[in-house]
């Protein structure tokens, strides 16, 4: 009986040490931003105000992390309402037909220090492409309520024409390359 009990304790400890930890994005402390050249001389910046994301990992260094993220394209905000309305049309996102952009990770590699490389599939409209984000892991801490939080900064550049966003294909008025930058805070599930 004693051996059976010790065996069960050992299995419980093994399962607990490899348990998945889930993190969910804290929208009050996170930002999804983009920047694109305008007329070749300046930049237009914008953001998306509604998004959701999760990270699941068993390893403390997060190298086994599975990351999923969704952005509501109807929440686009460039601080100019007519431009925001135009971005929701078929010239750009076609928000009525494709209301969400999605990202699903394929790997999360630690490079050096707190620097990581995040690879995954980004879907905009009806196109899914491989993308690579540069990520800086800000670490973890506890907030005033005792919740464990983790912080990340991630960035990449995509060619908008790769995603069937065909407005101004010359790139003379609206640049082809769009820089995406995310400042994200995640809360560990209890």
Vertex 135 angle, CA 134 and 138, to 5°: 155
The predicted model scores a pTM of 0.87
- Contact between 92 and 98 under an 8 Å Cβ cutoff? The reply is no
Q: For residue 38, report the phi and psi dihedrals to the nearest 5 degrees.
A: -125, 120
- Contact between 119 and 107 under an 8 Å Cβ cutoff? The reply is yes
pLDDT tens per residue, range 66-75: 999 999 999 9
pLDDT tens per residue, range 69-127: 999 999 999 999 999 999 999 999 999 999 999 999 999 999 999 999 999 999 999 99
Residue ranges of domains in the chain, CATH in brackets = 20-188 (2.40.128.110)
Q: Is the pLDDT of residue 4 over 50?
A: no
pLDDT tens per residue, range 15-38: 333 468 999 999 999 999 999 999
pLDDT at 60: 81
141 contact partners, CB below 8 Å, separation of at least 6: 148, 149
């Amino acid at each position: 009986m004693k051996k059976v009990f010790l065996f069960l304790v050992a299995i419980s400890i093994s399962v607990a040490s490899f348990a998945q930890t889930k993190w969910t994005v804290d929208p009050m402390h996170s930002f999804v931003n983009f920047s694109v050249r305008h007329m070749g001389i300046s930049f237009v910046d914008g953001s998306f105000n509604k998004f959701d994301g999760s990270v699941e990992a068993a390893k403390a260094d997060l190298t086994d992390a599975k990351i999923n993220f969704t952005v509501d394209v109807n929440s686009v905000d460039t601080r100019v309402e007519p431009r925001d309305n135009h971005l929701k049309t078929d010239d750009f996102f076609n928000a009525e037909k494709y209301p969400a952009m999605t990202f699903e990770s394929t790997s999360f590699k630690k490079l050096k220090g707190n620097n990581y490389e995040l690879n995954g599939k980004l879907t905009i409209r009806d196109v899914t492409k491989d993308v690579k984000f540069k990520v800086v892991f800000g670490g973890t801490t506890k907030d005033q309520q005792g919740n464990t939080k983790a912080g990340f900064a991630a960035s990449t550049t995509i060619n908008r024409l790769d995603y069937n966003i065909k407005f101004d294909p010359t790139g003379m008025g609206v640049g082809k390359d769009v820089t995406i930058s995310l400042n994200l805070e995640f809360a560990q599930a209890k």
